[in-house]
Structure formats: structure tokens, C-alpha cells
Structure 1
Amino acid sequence: MLKQITLSLLAAGVLGGCSLAPTLQRPEAPVAATFPQEAAPTGIAAPATPAANAGTPAADIGWQDFFPDRRLQAFIAAALDNNRDLRTAALRIEEARAQYNIQSADLLPTLNAAGGVTRSRTPGELNASGRPILTTGYQVGLSLTSFELDFFGRVRSLNQAALAQYLATEEAARAARISLVAETAKAYLAERSFAEQHELARQTLQGRENGYRLAQQRFEVGASSALDLRQNETLVLTARATLATLARQRAQAINALTLLVGRPLDTIGDLPAPQPLSGQNIVNDIPAGLPSDLLVRRPDIRAAEQRLVSANANIGAARAAFFPRISLTAAFGTASTALSGLFSAGSGNWSFGPQLLLPIFDSGRNQGNLDLAQVRTNLAVVDYEKTIQTAFREVSDALTARGYLEEQIEAQRAVQVAQADRLKLADQRFRNGISSSLDVLDAERELFSAQQSLVQAQLLRLTNSVDLYRSLGGGLKSTTNYASQAR
């Protein structure tokens, strides 16, 4: 009997290699063969970038090397340790791994050691003696419970689908890590931008209040008109409103950064002094490569591909449901009416029960499951192609903006210098009685606007570099192994 069971299991292993899943053909990337040409500055030279990582693919640049600001590095490290979204992603991996282990267990038979005792009573009316009969039986042995002989690859296809889902979840967690690094950096840079603009507004308000006091003195002695006084007062009130707005925006930026970091910022010890935006030497000379490189670099594309593999495998399982299903149930052991006779000669017993299940009429259930699997595969194809297109657009947008932003910053810096000279000349003309105070007030207004615009342009350039780094698959590698905590 053991020989027959062994031969049956070996036959199941040989025939289990059959699969009805269609051959998976990865769709071609529905994008151009190359990225759009990066915009070149029109006659204004871009500032030199650090040469340490020049020409290195984004995926090979650790985030500690990409973000040299030690304060930002501390925030990113804390986010990787404490962010709740990243913890959720880690737990999703554990969940998918457990589901795969459950599904893969069906590939092998389940053996159980069983022992039991049964006691029964037969009424006297049912036997010749006319007296009730009490019987006791003892059993011990091994049992094989409903092991399916996977002739048509149904179980194997389900196992492949579960494995692909696990791998997709793992890739999705990597994509979440990359996004967390980028979003933390962008939130930190936004907070620094509001801090710099707030300081400019504070200095501007202080200067305008001094100017307003002088205007009051001139008005009181009749050296200026009420219009000049009101103009100065308007500038002071406008500066106060701007200062309050920037204070609110900075506080909200701190809240956003705190949420990403996952803990109060003041609980992170040994933080160095913050660097200004102009001192953020973020790498921006990153080669884009070819769109086909994104298939390897970006975890979200790899996750979409694994979801496609899983959906394709489910087609094989749905097709196999149309064919007969054979399962084995067997038991081998000893049995006796007395506990002392369990292992005596002649007490061995066995049972073997193969079962054939042949679908005949199911009201279209199997066909509906097959149609559903095929539709889901088509949806997975569309999702895969859309993920590639989204990645292509993100890289293209970052590349297109990179050259223009360099030119914008240089032009805006020149505007600031020109406005500062204009204010100096207007103030001299006013003191010499050549022009009115309105020219000075207008020059102050324009200088403050130019200073704010320069800070905003610097923020745009830095966030664009972060977006390019993320869209090219950077942010996963680190020089220190910051493991996600799933507790």
C-alpha cells in the first residue's frame, strides 16, 4: 500500500509540471525611445555641480550622498525609522509572504499523526442477544488528507500568482521608501524656503517701520504731504500681513515635515544648524539614460509587472478548473479493541480513497471565472503601460525644467541686484530733492518682491533635482542600512 501511495505522489510531481497559463509577453514600453532634449540656458552659464557623483545613475547614488545637508540626513533617517506609511508597507510584505507560504503548502501533501479512541453502544433490539453491547476501539497512525494531484497545473498556477503578488508587494514597499525620502527632502526644503522668506519679510518690516517714523516726522514739520505718510503706512501694513502669512506657511510646513518624520522634530538630537537654500549642494547633474532603464530602476514599474505575472497565472488556474480534479486521501496505522493490543501482530489497518471531481454543470461559473481572470490580466497590462508612461513623463518634466530653472535663477539674481541699485539711486535722488518719496517706496516694494522670487526660484530648482532623483529610481540605496520597522 505504501508503494502505491508513493508511486501516486511521484506521478503527481511529474504531471504537475503541466500548466495552462498563457505565455506571458511583456508589453513594449508605450513611450518614445529617448527622453526629450533637456532645455539649454540661453546664454547664461549654469553653476557648476559637484563632480563627485557626476555621471552616476540616480539608482547608484545613496541618499546620504545626494543630500549632503547633515540636518536633512537626520530627518530622512528618522523618517525611515518612524514613518507609519513605511511601517504599513513593511507589514504588507509580511502579509503577502504569509499568503504565499499558505498557498505554496498546497504543492506538497499534508501528513498528520492521528490517535484516537471510540466507544459506542448498540441497543439490544439490534443484536441477537437482546442486550446492549458496548464496544471500544483504539487507533493510531498517519493520515494523508485530500492531496490534489496537480495534473493541469491549477495549484501550481495559484502558487505562481501568490509569489508574484508577494514580489509586487515587496517592490511597492521599495517604491514607498523612495517616495518617503523624496517627500521628506521636499518638505524640509519648503520649510527652509518659508524660513528665509520670513526673515526677509521681518527685515523689510523693520526697515519700513523706520521709514514710517521718519515720514511722520517730516509730515509733522510740513516737509511732506499726507499722501507720502499714507504710502509709508500702507507699506508697513502690507509687510506685516506678509510676515503673518509666511509665519503660518512655515508652521504648516513644519507640521508636514513632522508627519513624514514620524516624531517631533525637537526630539531628534544632535541636529546641526540649518543650511540656506543657496548652500544645499544637492546633486543635479544626473544622467537620464534611456526610458528602458526605468524598467529596471523603478520599483513601481517592477511591481506593476509582477501584478501582471500574477494575473496571467490566475488564467492558468481558471482554465484548469474545466478539467478533472483528482485528490488522494489515505491513512495507515494500527487499530485494536484494547489499548494493549495496538501494536500486536495483525493490528495494522489502512485506507486509500482517491477522488475524481469532474465538472459537468456549474451554471457558467468556471467560464465566468476564466473571463474575469482574462479581464484582470488586460487591466494589469493597462496598469503596467500607464505606470511606464507616468514614469516617462516625470523624468521628462524634470529634465525639461532643469535647464530653464538654472536660467531663471541667474536672471532673478540679476533682477535682485538691479533692484537694489535702483533703490540706492532712488534714495539718493530723494535725499537731494530731485524725486519724490514715491519712487523710493516703489523701489523698496520691487526689491522685496525680487528677493522673495529668488528664494522661490531656488526652491523650485532644488525640488526639481529631488523629483528627477526620485523619478530615475534614486533614494533606495543608502550607505547605512536603515531597516523598516514593522512592530
Structure 2
Amino acid sequence: MNKSLFAAVLAMPMLLAGCNLAPVYKQPAAPVSAQWPQGDAYGVGGKRESSAAADIAWRDFIQDERLRKLIALALENNRDLRVSVLNIERARAEYGVARAQQLPQLGATASQTANRVPDALAPNGQATINRQYSAGLGISAFELDLFGKVRNQSEAGLQQYFGTQEARRAQQISLVAEVANAWLTLAADQERLRLAQDTLKSQQISYELSKRRFDAGATSGLDMYEAQTSVEAARSDMALYTAQVAADRNALTLLAGVEVPPELLPQGALVSVTGMAALPEGLPSDVLVRRPDVLAAERSLQAASANIGVARAAFFPSISLTASAGSASGALSGLFKAGSGAWSFVPQMTLPIFTAGANQARLGVAQADRDIAVAQYEKAIQSAFREVADALAQRGTLGERVASQAALAQASEKSYRIHEARYQKGAESYLNALVSQRALYTAQQGLIGARLAQASNQVTLYKVLGGGWQ
């Protein structure tokens, strides 16, 4: 084969544009309301005219420097996130394999063929040995992409690769929120533990006073035993929250992927770690389609659409080319001499005539996969809508809940102080003081829980609105 003919063979796939049998992709309509839910539970809406939460970097959203460093540590060492990164590398490699099929694979060959003819078969009755040497460049079974089969395989691989990138972003968003909420939970449980310790000390003092009065015969044993029940209840809570604090630290270690330095753990009372009182909400159509998990579902849908094109192409003829050009000689010394050129060109066409319904079945599978991907995409949007709506409902009521719980704790403390003072003066039994003390303890624990819920809600709302991947 001369050089011009061989070049034409190489250029043929690029000259044949072919056709694409994949359906034209159209983004499905979002199966949710155009507005977030309204009502008493949702309170006053957020800053809808502001930039989206997805545009707010997590370092700008998280204000506590210790938590920032802990999140950075987790982003570097968390094993789930590391798997997501490796999945991206794997998908990139798979896309590279699929894309390479669009171009002919050129290979160099060199070979020697030797055979011996025995005496009985040799024309002159004398055994001979024949040798042949060859060297050249060749293309093996390259398929002309006339109907878009290879291109659609490559497109499916590309969309899957993009999908793994979005999955990695979704994983990072979840990790940022999980670390922040685990950090806040640890701070709340440490505060609950301190409250149990303070309550135990206070109740031990009351118990010692009741015991001295009982020993002196000033009161019956009832007051002493009632005070003892309060001491034991506080001691039980101390043991419970001591174990819970340890479990919270273990959870942080798992999320971080390494041992968490003590200086990065929360210190003091539970406080909000975010710097924004109100996150921008935006409209569902703007917010939800930007969430990485929704984008990943859409990439899967686009890959499924491309696979329909692959299945449809199987109904049409496939043409493959095998070609080579080089030199051949009976002697190694004459391999590249003038007149030793050799070439071969083997086009092959395959036309499916009877496949027992296999091609139709593959097309049915591809179409079913596409329909499944549509349903999964719509479910991803609906789930995202619900997550945002739930977080907004929590935000709309948490302010009132915290204020009410704070007022309850304040009133309970005043009631307890009055009953405690009356008991110490002997004006009433310890039962009233005990009841009011338990009410105060419950109210204080409830206040810690309400403040934790409020702080966690800001983190959760930031996550479900698509923030945290930058």
C-alpha cells in the first residue's frame, strides 16, 4: 500500500461523520413546587434575593477557627472522601478507554516465518528450509463509527465521569456538615455533663443537710431518702454523659480520619459556629438543580440516554478495517531493500440478520435504564426539596423554642431557689424543693437541646441548600 492510500485509510473515520441514534437529551421538569412551603412553621423567609448558599465557601460559613481546622483535617484524611476521589480517577480512566476506541490503534510488527520441507516432498528430493521476514505498521479491526455506537459509548463514559465528580462534591458537603454537627453534639454533651456534675454537687449538699437533721431527730427519714434519690439520679446522669462524651469524640476521630488534637475540640458552653443569621434560600428551580447529588443523578440520566444510541446502533451494519503496510523478504538482509514493499487491506462488514431478539432486548434494557434514571433524577429533586423544607420548618420554630425553653429554665430556677430557702428554714418539707429541683434540671437539659438543635439547623440548612463543596 502506498503512503497516500494508507493515509486515506487512517483519515477515513474522521471524514465519515456518520449519524447519532441516541435520543436528544431534554432535562426533565422538576416534579416539585416552584416555591418553598409557606405557613406558621416556616416563619419569615430567608434572603431570597441573595446569592445561593452553594456560592458560600464553607470557610466563610464556619466561623469557629478550631472547627475550621478540624474540617480541613477531615477533608484531607477522611476515608470515604478518599474513596470518592479514587472513583473519579477510575471513571476518568474508563472514559479514556472508551474515547480511545474512536481512533484507529496503530501498531508496529516484526516477524519471521521458517518452515522445513522434507526430502519426500521437496521437488528435487532434497530437504529445504524456507524463511520469510516481515516488518510493518498496521491497524487491526478498527470499527468505522457510522451510526454513533463508539461515540455514544464514549459519551456515556464521559457522563459517568462527570457524575463521579458530582458525587465527590456531595460527599464533601456531607462531610463538612457531619463534622460540624458532631462537633456541636460534643459541645452540647460536655455541657450536659457539667450540668450533671453541678447538680450532683448541689444535691450532695442538700443530702448532707437532710442527713444531719435526721441524725439530730429534727426531721423524719423521708426527707433524707428523697434527697438521696436526687443524688443518685444525678450520679447516673454523670455516668451516662461521660460515656456519651467519649462516644462523641470517637465519632469525630472517625470523621477526621486521624486522632483529633485536643486543642481542636470544643471548649466552654455550646455556641453557634456559623456567621450568618439567615442563609439565602433562592427558588427551588435555582437551588435544587445545583445540588451535586441532583447533578450526579442527571449525569446518570444522560449516560443512560447515550446507551440507547449504543443499543440502536446494533441493528445496523458494522464495518471494520484491518490494514497493514511494510516490507517482506526471504532474507533478513533484504528486508528494507527496493521492491520489498508489501501491504494488505481487509475491510469487513457485518449485518445482523437473525439474533433471536437479542438486539431488541438490549434496546429494551437501555430504554428501561433510561426510564429508571429519569425516576431516580426526579426522586433526587423531591428528596432535596423535602430536606430543604424540613430544615426551613425547623428554622422557623427554633427561635421561639429556644426563647421559651430559656424562660422555662429561668422560672424553674427561681421556683427552686424559693423552695430550697423555705426548706432550709424548716418552713416546708424537702419534697417541694426536690420537685422544683428536678423541674429545673429538666428545663436546663431541654435548653441545651434546643440550642443544639438551633446551631445544627444552620449547618443542616447550609448543607441541603447545596453549600459546602467549595
- Normalised to the residue count of structure 2, the TM-score between the two structures is 0.95
Distance 1:153 1:233, change over 3 A: same
Alignment-derived partner of residue 3 in structure 1: 4
Residues 141, 333 of structure 1: 8 Å contact kept: yes
Deviation at 1:428, TM superposition (A): 2.6
Deviation at 1:297, TM superposition (A): 2.4
Residues 294, 391 of structure 1: 8 Å contact kept: no
- Whether 1:348 aligns to 2:349 is no
Paired with 2:273 and 2:431, the residues of 1 have a C-alpha distance of: 38
Deviation at 1:17, TM superposition (A): 4.2
SS of aligned partner of 2:28? coil
Distance 1:396 1:40, change over 3 A: closer
Alignment-derived partner of residue 127 in structure 1: 122
Post-superposition CA distance 1:117-169 (Å, at most 9, x none): 22222233333222322111111111111111111111111010010111001
Alignment-derived partner of residue 13 in structure 2: 12
Q: Please give the residue correspondences for 1:138-153 in structure 2 after superposition, counting only pairs within 5 Å.
A: 138-153=133-148
Paired with 2:291 and 2:18, the residues of 1 have a C-alpha distance of: 33
Deviation at 1:56, TM superposition (A): 4.3
Residues 288, 385 of structure 2: 8 Å contact kept: no
Paired with 1:447 and 1:391, the residues of 2 have a C-alpha distance of: 39
Alignment-derived partner of residue 230 in structure 1: 225
Distance 1:273 1:184, change over 3 A: closer
Q: Please give the residue correspondences for 1:63-462 in structure 2 after superposition, counting only pairs within 5 Å.
A: 63-266=58-261, 271=264, 274=267, 276-278=269-271, 280-462=273-455
Amino acid at match of 1:20: L
SS of aligned partner of 1:142? strand
Paired with 2:146 and 2:350, the residues of 1 have a C-alpha distance of: 13
Alignment-derived partner of residue 483 in structure 1: none
Paired with 1:345 and 1:359, the residues of 2 have a C-alpha distance of: 44
Paired with 1:211 and 1:439, the residues of 2 have a C-alpha distance of: 13
Deviation at 1:60, TM superposition (A): 1.7
Paired with 1:38 and 1:130, the residues of 2 have a C-alpha distance of: 107
Distance 1:225 1:281, change over 3 A: farther
Q: Structure 1, unaligned stretches of length 5 or more?
A: 478-487
Residues 54, 466 of structure 2: 8 Å contact kept: yes
Q: Please give the residue correspondences for 1:48-59 in structure 2 after superposition, counting only pairs within 5 Å.
A: 55-59=50-54
Distance 1:337 1:8, change over 3 A: closer
- Normalised to the residue count of structure 1, the TM-score between the two structures is 0.92
Deviation at 1:15, TM superposition (A): 3.1
SS of aligned partner of 1:107? coil
Distance 1:184 1:453, change over 3 A: same
Paired with 1:459 and 1:110, the residues of 2 have a C-alpha distance of: 61
Amino acid at match of 1:129: N
Paired with 1:41 and 1:383, the residues of 2 have a C-alpha distance of: 28
Amino acid at match of 2:281: A
Amino acid at match of 1:291: P
CA RMSD for the aligned pairs? 2.1
SS of aligned partner of 2:271? helix
Residues 152, 323 of structure 1: 8 Å contact kept: yes
Amino acid at match of 2:29: E
Paired with 2:202 and 2:173, the residues of 1 have a C-alpha distance of: 44
Residues 308, 384 of structure 1: 8 Å contact kept: yes
Post-superposition CA distance 1:264-298 (Å, at most 9, x none): 113x7x64862532353442401211111134421
Paired with 1:295 and 1:450, the residues of 2 have a C-alpha distance of: 38
Alignment-derived partner of residue 31 in structure 1: 32
Task: Report which stretch shifted further, 427-436 or 208-217.
Answer: 427-436
Residues 274, 458 of structure 2: 8 Å contact kept: no
Paired with 1:240 and 1:216, the residues of 2 have a C-alpha distance of: 18
Residues 42, 392 of structure 2: 8 Å contact kept: no
Alignment-derived partner of residue 480 in structure 1: none
Paired with 1:243 and 1:262, the residues of 2 have a C-alpha distance of: 29
Residues 106, 155 of structure 1: 8 Å contact kept: yes
Deviation at 1:66, TM superposition (A): 1.2
Paired with 2:204 and 2:425, the residues of 1 have a C-alpha distance of: 22
Paired with 2:127 and 2:298, the residues of 1 have a C-alpha distance of: 69
Residues 402, 461 of structure 1: 8 Å contact kept: yes
Paired with 1:75 and 1:364, the residues of 2 have a C-alpha distance of: 58
SS of aligned partner of 1:117? strand
Paired with 1:177 and 1:302, the residues of 2 have a C-alpha distance of: 14
Amino acid at match of 1:137: Q
